[in-house]
Amino acid sequence: MIKLHHLNRSRSLRILWLLEEIGAPYNFVLHERDKETNLAPDALLKIHPLGKSPVIEMDGDIISESAAITELLCAQYAPNMMPPAGTSAYAR
């Protein structure tokens, strides 16, 4: 099962949308920024050393960066959403 670590005011909303769109099973973990410093909480720093989000846990791996997560999720759960790698359609 996929675990999405969501940080408020981050790009992880796009991963949440994608998970819903492709119908992949997932758990949602909400992390709130510190109201004074705007930094990620310690709980997220334990998952990603820079406190970045989005981060997913999948098959024992931790994957960060929304583009990498998107490509991985589409390849595994919705291959029809992506043209084959190496084609001009993929580049577009």
> At a CB cut-off of 8 Å and minimum separation 6, what does 5 contact?
12, 29, 31, 44, 47, 48, 53, 54, 55, 56, 57
Helix (H) or strand (E) holding 42: helix 42-47
d(CA 28, CA 17): 12
Q: Give the CA distances from residue 39 to residues 16, 45, 47, in Å, rounded to whole numbers and listed in that order.
A: 21, 10, 14
Share of the chain above pLDDT 90, in %: 77
Q: Kindly report the pTM of this predicted structure.
A: 0.86
pLDDT given at position 83: 85
| pLDDT tens-place string over residues 33-72 | 999 999 899 999 999 998 889 999 999 999 999 999 999 9
**How far apart (Å, rounded) are the C-alpha atoms in residues 20 and 24?**
7
